[in-house]
Amino acid sequence: MKSVEEIKTAIEAAVPGAGVKIIPNPGPSAQHSLQLDPRTAIDVVRFLRDDPELALDFLSNVTGVDYLDKEVSEKVKVTRPVTKTVDGVEQTVEETVEETRKHTEPGYLEVVYHLFSMAGKHGPVILRMRTGNRTDQVELPSFTPLWRSAEFQEREVFDLFGVVFSGHPDLRRLLMWDGFKDHPMRRDYKEPDDFEYEPTAHDEVLARAKEHQASGRGPTVTVEAKQ
């Protein structure tokens, strides 16, 4: 089994300008991963699958990870001229001050792939791809045309995280129903107060009861208004 560095070298030799980065894993498992550039990802994974030495024919696991927008504050040393009165004389002195600056690092969605080789019985090789942000640049290339095993798993990542896989032949929600709006595995997901996504006959009964009460002829039991 080749190390991540060797795989990276092999990829760069086979796909020029692949733009592969190594993401080290500081934990004891030492499962380091390779970050792919979405523009060249299909060529890279096709090489990984078809290369006779690597022969990563088995895409085991596809999953998403959500990273929220992060507010980063960093201390910056700033030098600026300050006017001071020294011994009754006004002077302009350069002074170095520490300032705290805040900026927001945009969050992103990440898709993680675990590849193994059934022919060579080695693995895992871990690949990751990141979207531009969490809202409008969420498109990544689909690996389903290369591995059928990604078909349901990419649908699940689309459903629960909201990553759009371009080139997926049948990109629908997998676990939630089609009319559902949000993506429940995102870290800022808030569950709705009411899961009834379409009006039911029950709503009409409640509305009629409310009207009846308002007219003063109804029972004194209060019926909670439906939001």
Partner 1 sequence: MKTPATTSGHALDWNRPPVFEAEGEGELLEVSMGPHHPSTHGVFRMDVALDGERVVRLKPVFGYLHRNHEQLGQSQSYLGNMPYTDRLDYFCSMTNNWAYALAVEKLVGQAVPERAEYIRVILAELTRVQNHASAIGFLIQEMGASGTPLMYAFREREKILDLFESLSGSRMMCNYMRFGGCRVDPSPAWLDATRKVVAGLPKFVDEFEALLSSNEILMARTQGVGVLRPDLAVNAGITGPMLRGSGVNYDIRKVDYYGIYDRFKFLVPLGDHGDVFDRYMVRVLEMRESIGILEQALKEVPAGPIMDSKAKIRGFRPKPGEAYGRIEAPKGELGFYLISDGSPNPYRYRVRPPSLINLTVLEDMCLGQNVADVVLIFGSVDIVLGEVDR
Which one among 10, 22, 171, 174 touches partner 1, defined by CB under 8 A? 174
For the chain, give the DSSP string.
---HHHHHHHHHHHSTT---EEE---STT---EEEPPTTTHHHHHHHHHH-TTT---EEEEEEEEEE--EEEEEEEEEEEEEEEEETTEEEEEEEEEEEEEEEEEP-EEEEEEEEEETTTTEEEEEEEEE-S-SSS--EEE--TTT-TTHHHHHHHHHHHH--EEET-TT---SSS-TT--S-TTSTT----S----S--HHHHHHHHHHHHHHTT-S-S---PPP-
Q: Which is nearer to partner 1, 67 or 206 (CB)?
A: 67
Cβ atoms of residues 94 and 80 within 8 Å? yes
Stretch that binds partner 1, among 13-21, 69-77, 146-154, 196-204 (CB under 8 A): 146-154
Q: Is 175 in the site for partner 1 (CB under 8 A)?
A: yes
Q: Is 149 in the site for partner 1 (CB under 8 A)?
A: yes
Residue type, 189: Y
Stretch that binds partner 1, among 100-108, 167-175, 194-202, 211-219 (CB under 8 A): 167-175
Q: Which is nearer to partner 1, 27 or 88 (CB)?
A: 27
Residues between 27 and 86 with contacts to partner 1, criterion CB under 8 A: 27-29, 31, 42, 57-61, 63, 65
Which one among 109, 127, 134, 151 touches partner 1, defined by CB under 8 A? 151
Q: At closest approach, how far in Å is the CB of 119 from partner 1?
A: 8
CB neighbour class for 61 (10 Å; exposed up to 12, middle 13-18, buried from 19): middle
Q: Is 19 in the site for partner 1 (CB under 8 A)?
A: no
Residue type, 144: T
Q: How many residues bind partner 1 (CB under 8 A)?
A: 41
Q: Is 146 in the site for partner 1 (CB under 8 A)?
A: yes
Q: At closest approach, how far in Å is the CB of 109 from partner 1?
A: 12
Q: At closest approach, how far in Å is the CB of 152 from partner 1?
A: 6
Stretch that binds partner 1, among 2-10, 85-93, 94-102, 171-179 (CB under 8 A): 171-179
Q: Which is nearer to partner 1, 35 or 213 (CB)?
A: 35
Residue type, 73: S
Q: Which residues pair with 62 in a beta bridge?
A: 113
Contact residues toward partner 1 (CB under 8 A) are: 25-29, 31, 42, 57-61, 63, 65, 112, 114, 118, 121, 124, 126, 144-153, 160, 167, 169, 173-177, 184-185, 189
